[in-house]
Amino acid sequence: MNIKSIAIFGAGYVGSSLGILLSQFYEITFYEKDQEKIDLINNKNVFLKDFNINDLKNKELQFKAKSIFEGVLEHDLFILAVPTDYDNETNNFDTEIVENVILEISKVTIESPILIKSTVPVGFTEKARKKFNNKNIIFSPEFLREANAMKDNLYPSRIIIGDEINSCKNIASIFTKIALNEPNVIYMSSSEAEAVKLFANTYLAMRVAFFNELDTFSLIKTLDVKKIINGICADQRIGNYYNNPSFGYGGYCLPKDSKQLLSSYQDVPQNLIQAVVESNQTRKKFIVDQILLENKDNIGVYKLDMKKGSSNSRSAAILDIIDMLLIANKRILIFDKKPVDVFREKKNISFTTKMDEFLNKSEIIIANRGDNFLNKLEKRVIFTRDIFNEN
């Protein structure tokens, strides 16, 4: 299979980072619904925080964007990086967008492979092959961190291809071509590859939950959590990483992927996976209880971003904590660059971008992740569980 032209559906951090790197070697067409993203891409204005297009200024990049509503053209490879949000009513990912895209591609060709990068339930790809009568639908999980998507594409920990048909070696080669290391390529069935993605993210969620529960224990027992974590993580089997306490895990992947994995365990004995999901809610409730102990009515929330270097507040633990504080009749003032729609209609909540106003009106400041500015605020009541001032 000779690959020259690649279509990428979805211009989020997964699709954009991958597509721009691939455009060094292939003709890339992004298909998007968001006209603002389309215009940015066509004007070569990359909107990813972690991406500097100047790093590729000596390369001849071949990428453009068009609206999916204009229709899909024929390409040698189709990559799907569209969202699959978790539906709490069905306890499953909503795969409607993925299926709609596959349907549109099928109207053009069934010969070119369709590579799913969107996270899907275990067994989805096999079902899609039967539904669309197309054996060329393949799943390959992504393991990208937001704000580090470029680096993770350049130095992948591994490349997993969810099939072993002949075209898969060619598909794997497009990822190794952009890699600056020599990643291990692992071939397996599509269902096994789907399981790798869900289990990997649930393990990371479990690790976050573990250190959060360690922090809860330390607070109640008045122990120095930093010393305990340093003592534990000196063991090389455990490692000194992903161990900074927080208000709870959040973001695009960990909450929804752990819930989807738990849903997949419907007929399988388990205790740990459910505990990972439940632990996050327990942690957030505990954090609220600790804040309420301060007995302050006017609470300032310093930024909604899930972690440092991120512009993402999606499913961030702080959002649920704000909701619980509102139920407790607290007034909330959020210091952030822009309001979040979910709070727009709620009472006792407001936003500001003026630090003086934020400091004057806040009796206590809460921050999932601190920074050097907060550290300099003497004589202020600041509540954070950011022990190591990182992540």
The tokens of 182 are what? Answer: 């020599």
Q: In this structure, which amino acid lies at residue 354? A: K
Q: Enumerate long-range contacts of 55-58, CB under 8 Å, 24 or more apart.
A: 56/20, 56/21, 56/24
What pLDDT, in 10s, does the model give residues 334-367?
998 876 776 777 889 999 999 999 999 999 999 9
Q: What are the CB-based long-range contacts (under 8 Å, 24+) for 231-240?
A: none
Residues 6+ apart with CB under 8 A from 237: none
Q: Report the C-alpha gap between 150 and 272 in whole angstroms.
A: 33
Q: DSSP letters of 1-66?
A: ----EEEEE--SHHHHHHHHHHTTTSEEEEEES-HHHHHHHHTT----TT--GGGGTTS---EEEE
pLDDT score recorded for residue 380: 81
Would you say 21 and 155 are in contact if contact means Cβ atoms under 8 Å apart? Answer: no
Which amino acid appears at position 9 of this protein?
Answer: F
Residue 309 is predicted with a pLDDT of: 61
Catalytic positions: 253
Domain ranges of the chain: 5-188, 197-383
pLDDT by residue for the chain (391 residues), tens digit each? 789 999 999 988 899 999 999 999 999 999 999 998 899 888 877 656 665 556 666 678 899 999 999 999 999 999 999 999 999 899 999 999 999 999 999 999 989 999 999 999 999 999 999 999 999 999 999 999 877 888 899 999 999 999 987 789 899 999 999 999 999 999 999 999 999 999 999 999 999 999 999 999 999 999 999 999 999 999 999 999 999 999 999 888 999 999 999 999 989 999 999 999 999 999 999 999 999 999 999 999 999 877 766 666 777 899 999 999 999 999 999 998 876 776 777 889 999 999 999 999 999 999 998 888 887 887 788 999 999 987 6
Structure tokens at 74: 């024929």
In CATH terms, 5-188 corresponds, of 3.40.50.970, 3.40.228.10, 3.40.50.720, 3.40.47.10, to 3.40.50.720
Q: Domain 197-383 is classified in which CATH homologous superfamily?
A: NAD(P)-binding Rossmann-like Domain (3.40.50.720)
pLDDT at residue 2 in the model: 86
Q: Is the pTM of this model over 0.85?
A: yes
Residue 313 CA to residue 340 CA, distance in Å, equals: 9
Structure tokens at 123: 């067994």
* Structure letter (DSSP) for residue 190: H
The predicted pLDDT at position 54 comes to 60
pLDDT given for residue 60 in this prediction: 83
State how far Cα 104 lies from the chain centre: 26
CA 198, CA 135: separation in Å to the nearest integer? 23
Tell me if domain 5-188 and domain 197-383 are identical in fold. yes
> Please, where are the H alpha helices in the chain?
13-22, 35-42, 96-106, 124-131, 149-154, 167-178, 190-220, 225-233, 254-264, 272-292, 317-327, 355-361, 372-375
pLDDT tens digits, 198-216: 999 999 999 999 999 999 9
- What pLDDT score does 74 carry? 94
Question: In the prediction, which pLDDT does 24 show?
Answer: 92
What is the distance between the alpha carbons of residues 148 and 140, in angstroms, rounded to a whole number? Answer: 19
Asked whether 58 and 89 are in contact (CB, 8 A), the reply is no
Question: At 302, phi and psi to the nearest 5?
Answer: -90, 100
Token couple for 361: 């009106």
- Which helix (DSSP H) or strand (DSSP E) does residue 86 occupy? strand 86-87
